[in-house]
Structure 1
Amino acid sequence: MTIIKDVTKENIEDLCWFCVPETKRNDPEWIKGVEDKRRWAGAMLKKQGSLAKLAYQDNCAVGMIQYQTILEEGIVYIDCIWVPWERYWQKGIATKLLLSLLDDIKNSAIGGFNDGQALALVTKTFPGGAPNQLTARQFFTKKGFQPIGKDPDYLYYPLRPGFVYRPKKKKAVKYQPQKEDKGKVLIISGPNACPATYPYFLKRMEKYIREIDTKIPLQWLDASQESFAVKKRGVKIGDCIVNAKLIKSFVLDKENFQKEVNKALGK
């Protein structure tokens, strides 16, 4: 039997550790990722009172859906939905999680919106998926989500008849180079919605940069603990600065990432 539970202070650790592979639970980098997730989740719980739901079988968390309320747009944004283990696939667990979230919205259990209820669910799915498992895009599309513009992974589900979601244009924040950024590397870390961000993306940045230059000074800036240093640069968690230049290539695109790092270093 599958039981859906809201994430609260009592089971927040289940959420923080949910996405960590069993083989990585003693890995210092993943433990740091969990600490970042714990800080983020605690803050979100205080801010909006609800941030995720977990599906349990035999007291074990087997599925999750995580979300944020974007009040100024009148939407609930789904960060992630995931059922990681194959033995729990095709059992309706993800559907139960989504329906539980929809029930909360319809019953105004997730509130703060000007009109009393969210106008839409919105998500941007990560391309790809595990072999033999529906991708997140396929799952949401089957549930009636519609594409936003030309990006097939950017989807919305209207909660009112005739509503069409149009994203608000966000003011672009431009990196403000600082004199002290010359001749060094800065990687911006901090509280994060995903425990994989630190080990899988940020530490990978460090690794790829070290393959190019083993001696350049490298500094980590925590956005929550060194907020002034981060804000004055106009950067955010996940950004990487090399020799006073913001690296724009995605780190998983190793070739272009390192090409941009080389260019920033004048190599």
Structure 2
Amino acid sequence: MFRTAVCCMTRDAPDLPFWIAYHLRYFDRIFLRVEGGKRPPEDDRVVVVDTTEPEDGGLLRQQERQRDFVDLCVRRVARTHGVRYLLHIDDDELFVMEPRWRDAGSLLRTLAWSGATHARIQNHEAVFRVDPGDAGATPYFTDARIVFRDGARSAFMRGYRNGKSVCDTFHQPRCTGCHTFEGSHIILREAVILHFDCLDFVRWQNKFLRIREITGLLPFYGRSVRAVRTGDEHEQRRVWLGGVVVRDREPLLLMEWIRHADRENSAPGS
């Protein structure tokens, strides 16, 4: 069985210990670039590739650093650790697959069989079922009030239509974007990425206060920057909660899988 890994550039993660423990149940290694903040918990399976002080160079500069880091992981770090399949996600995202797969490697073998350089996985964006005010989610990834915007049906999600990608490092593909690779791809429908980016109203405000340029942004980003600049909290909350919210059973099952993993992570001897 080929080894698998998640790589991530992290800064002020909402709950890095949970994020790491969760993904180590399905992946063999985690590769991190830590930009300030606390170092991750000690674990032989967690490889801190680089540490650096936070850099305030804006969104585009952040994306450049992400691409450089992922390319480094594909070409050098993955080979050093014997990793064949490499997923790049952010520290506010969770990889979720159907429970019939025991680990990521058993699922990702389909990528090797296909001959493609990478597989794309659809995003679902988290939002509270009801506006919780400034309370935020506690615990961050498992709050019972969370549902998800559906990338297939929501105009909110057009900017995320390609989702996130896992690459086959055997082909040594280069990044063509933060979360995409060159070459042919397949669509991986047995897994999704759950993104908790703007779940918390204050976190959303702080994020878009830092973004100065609207040109070239995803539509939701542009609307968010404009709303934050108005100073009108009613308009801000309307934009933050905007979009089609999925109400069918599938996203609720996704959350149950995460909560099950949370209970396992908290069990004695885990």
Give the shorter-chain TM-score range: under 0.3
TM-score in terms of structure 1 length = 0.24
Larger Rg: 1
